[in-house]
């Protein structure tokens, strides 16, 4: 069974631009979560989607948004990029998104560098 | 709110040494506890988990016991190998009364482990 895939793996953008990252979950998984990983803040939850609906959201500004398609693939978008948005963005999928019952499987991440 | 605190790293050990990485948590609701491992250039892999008090999770020689009385979930391995060198994250997921915190894991800051031959 194929794992979680994320594209692209690396991105370099300029301040003020916008960026879209893509995540394909494991087949059959309907929940997709996004995380930001930085050396200073560690791993922080961005949001979670299930059946094309955002069910949960972390404490990030509105410049960070996402969506999910009917095949469970998900995208996240960051508008008006800032230097502080440089990070590894991780996507994780699970069957239900209810961590008490099932576990999340992570992709390799997209490394975003903002210059 | 919910939070996870891990021991400060980095941790450097010789091969076959005993490993302990401390993890304590605060949580509202009923947490499940996890240890994830991240190898260089890769995403996170689930190492083990426990879903209720006194449960012991184990995998690949690693163990951790869910201690509700001390709100801890310390990771241990009796004999580490060079291949265990990685970053280890303790995490929790909470099932609140009336619902769940959908799709959200709360992570500790991570502990870098380096094992020398």
For B62-80, the pLDDT digits (tens) are 999 999 999 999 999 999 9
Confidence check: pLDDT of A1 > 80: no
Residue pairs between chains A and B whose CB atoms are closer than 8 Å? 79
Confidence bin at A103 (pLDDT 50/70/90)? confident
Question: Using omega within 30 degrees of 0 as the cis cutoff, is the peptide bond preceding A11 cis?
Answer: no
Contact A103 B49 (CB under 8 A): yes
pLDDT score for A79: 95
Exposure pattern of B94-117 as b/e (b: 16+ CB <10 Å)?
bbeeeebbbbbbbbbbbbebebee
Q: Measured between CB atoms, which of B49, B102, B107 is closest to A43?
A: B107
Pairing of strands A110-114, A10-13: parallel
pLDDT score for A33: 96
Residue pair B23/B108 in contact by the 8 Å Cβ criterion = yes
Contact B104 A33 (CB under 8 A): yes
Confidence check: pLDDT of A97 > 80: yes
Confidence check: pLDDT of A54 > 80: yes
Alpha carbons B47 and B111: distance in angstroms, whole number: 14
Contact B108 A42 (CB under 8 A): yes
Q: How far is CA B88 from the centre of its chain?
A: 7
């Amino acid at each position: 069974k194929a794992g979680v895939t994320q594209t692209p793996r690396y991105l370099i953008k300029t301040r003020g631009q916008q960026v879209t990252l893509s995540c394909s979950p494991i087949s059959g998984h309907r929940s997709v979560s996004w995380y930001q990983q930085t050396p200073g803040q560690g791993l922080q939850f961005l949001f979670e989607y299930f059946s094309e609906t955002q069910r949960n959201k972390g404490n990030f500004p509105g410049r960070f948004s996402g969506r999910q398609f009917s095949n469970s693939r998900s995208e996240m978008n960051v508008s008006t990029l800032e230097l502080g948005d440089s990070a590894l963005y991780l996507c994780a999928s699970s069957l239900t998104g209810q961590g008490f019952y099932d576990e999340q499987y992570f992709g390799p991440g997209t490394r975003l560098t903002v210059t | 709110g919910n939070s996870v605190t891990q021991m400060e790293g980095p941790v450097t050990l010789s091969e076959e040494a005993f490993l302990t990485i401390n993890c304590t948590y605060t949580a509202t609701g009923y947490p499940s506890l996890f240890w994830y491992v991240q190898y260089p250039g890769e995403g996170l892999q689930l190492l083990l988990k426990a879903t209720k008090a006194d449960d012991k999770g184990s995998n690949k020689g690693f163990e951790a016991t869910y201690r509700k009385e001390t709100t801890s979930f310390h990771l241990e391995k009796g004999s580490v190998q060079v291949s265990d060198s990685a970053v280890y994250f303790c995490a929790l997921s909470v099932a609140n009364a009336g619902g769940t915190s959908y799709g959200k894991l709360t992570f500790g800051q991570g502990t870098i482990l380096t094992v020398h031959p």
